[in-house]
Structure 1
Amino acid sequence: MKGAHVVRSEQAGSAPRQLFDRIGDFLTAQRLDPDPANYAFAYAILAYPDAPLAQAVARLTDGGVRLTLRDIEALGGEVTPGTGSERDRADGLIAQTQLQVEGFADIIQGLHAETHGFGRELAESADRIRQQQAALDNGSAAVAEVARITAAMVARVRTAEARLESATREAAELRAKLEEARDNARRDPLTDLPNRRAFEEAFASHAATDATMWLAVCDIDHFKSVNDRFGHAVGDRVLRAIAAALREACGNHLVARYGGEEFVVLFTDMDAGSARATLEIARELVATKRYRLRETDEPLGAVTFSAGLAPVAKGDTARAAFGRADRLLYRAKNEGRNCIRVG
């Protein structure tokens, strides 16, 4: 009887075990640490798949996009100190390493300048010693020894200069690679647009200057049906096409992939009418194009997007401005799609 309290049938324990495994897979896929806060967040999503939280996460992660700490916090999850995705930690390490490399490069350049000056002075001193030695009738052994030592020192300095020059080139190459890595951390690999992190940083930078801003949130209509009917490879092509249309129409304004099939456009120093007109050009460019499957030339059907366009108020955070534009987007969806609603 003693063991009766701990024995479980295989059938009774299979469902919890499957849920446990799915939680582990979710944390691994999102590159989240397996701490209690993240586990509880994953449990709330996977144990109640029809709840609003699970649906919100599904929209954010559609298309292979990973959750950020800001996403989890915005959805009501707890972010504990030290918690972070591998990308967050890698980005911090890249920034720290770049600062160290820049400091190292500055030191090398300083040493190179000092060594070059010292070497030039040694070479001039050696020349003067040789001239003085030649002027002596019998030649002094002491002067000859000084000349020999000085010549050896000049040779070593020149060797050191060559090594420092090589190190300077290597530091410059490493700095360029680190800069490229930092750029990649802020770029969506599928569409080559800036990602959500880059958008949030740009938003904060513009907000600090009190610039006039309008934020558009754009969402591809019926995108799930495209993936279901034709597969994710075709869905990826659609995402790239929408990204290209937005980038072409919006010119120098920031266009970023926010997540899944959602894009954001940050219009700066532009009034509502001009921002809407620019967005309408992109919408019409997408809606009038006829897409076909590359493999069979079969028509893909109409591809459109809806958008919400909202002003950014003074003191707004990126999340607040996004929420306002997102509500307008849902109005556009509810009123027939393939349209823009302005707040």
Structure 2
Amino acid sequence: MQRKLYEQDHEDFRDIVREFVTREATPHLRRWEDQHLIDRTVWAAAGKQGLLGLGAPEDLGGGGQPDFRYRAVVMEEFARVGAASLHSGFAVQDDVVLPYLLDLGTEEQKHRWVPGMCSGETIAAIAMTEPGAGSDLQGIRATAVRDGGGWVIDGVKTFITNGIHADLVIVLARTDPAAGAKGMSLFLVERETPGFSRGRKLDKVGLHGQDTAELFFDSCRVPAGNLLGTEGRGFMHLMERLPRERTSIAVFAQCVTEAALEWTRDYCAERTAFGSPISDFQHSRFLLAELVTEAEVTRAYVDRCIEALSEESLSAVDAAKAKWWATELQAKVVDRCVQLHGGYGYMLEYPIARAFLDTRIQTIFGGTTEIMKEIIGRDLYAGKRSR
């Protein structure tokens, strides 16, 4: 089925992304995985190529392209070569942190930090999750207390993407412990801020190249000008921007699903068993037919979400639907594709094996599948009286 999502400008941009991937990513993927860290130099290379800050205004060093289809092109090309770790770091920067600064930041904050994020000189992270609070962010314990002309932050954050490399971190903290969800605020914390430190680089099941860390805030003092958005509205700021983050996860899930099917289709045509290509076996053909159909049906919905996000009309509920469905399908497809690869599917020299490791987190971060279903389920009965 022919897709109508992209126009010629997007395809021209794809050529740029593909050339970048060939030159700057593919030769280094295995080394990044082995060293459990991506070189900072690739961020600068991406910035120079115009792959970072796509949605930022041109006067701030960005691409001036809020059209999310350009980000989707980047995801497709990264997924095609199995660059999931690199995608994860870039996605946090462009799809999470950057929109917060552009939407909530003061002019001084935007001019101070956005240009570096677009050039790749500044790597950013967002610190919400804590050891005792993941999907339930109302359970966070980190605090920020007024002190003179600034704030003092105390607390621990964990599972922070870009945590080791980060030069700038958005931190969610309680500013009024008695106010519940209305007592949280967002703060900008820079790398060299006294009282801010990093713990260990976490050893994950997958995404080995992407740095994930523990962050510690021990009487970490930031100036009043580092408050991001409105005091007491931190939780609402997060809720308002989660659709973009969840759509980003859903889009990459779809891209990996399609890449895995392409790798597997080629493998089944080349691999022989009992004297025939395994693509000749009815089971292989039927299974691939099933998976391809599910992937194409899902692609139709994901594309609609991409368009709606670009038009700023995507609802939180529709983003939740895309997130849980696309990531669960990704897990199913990658698992079945490993099976079709046989023993070679378990070898890390094959991209399907690396995808198997990288895929597991997709149904967890950005809100678990269970949380997504809860959001959708509540919406089904919103405004209806119980009987």
The answer to whether the superposition gives a TM-score over 0.5 is no
Structure ranking higher in strand proportion? 2
**TM interval, short-chain normalised:** under 0.3
Name which one, 1 or 2, has greater alpha-carbon Rg: 1
TM-score normalised by structure 1 residue count: 0.23
Structure ranking higher in helix proportion? 1
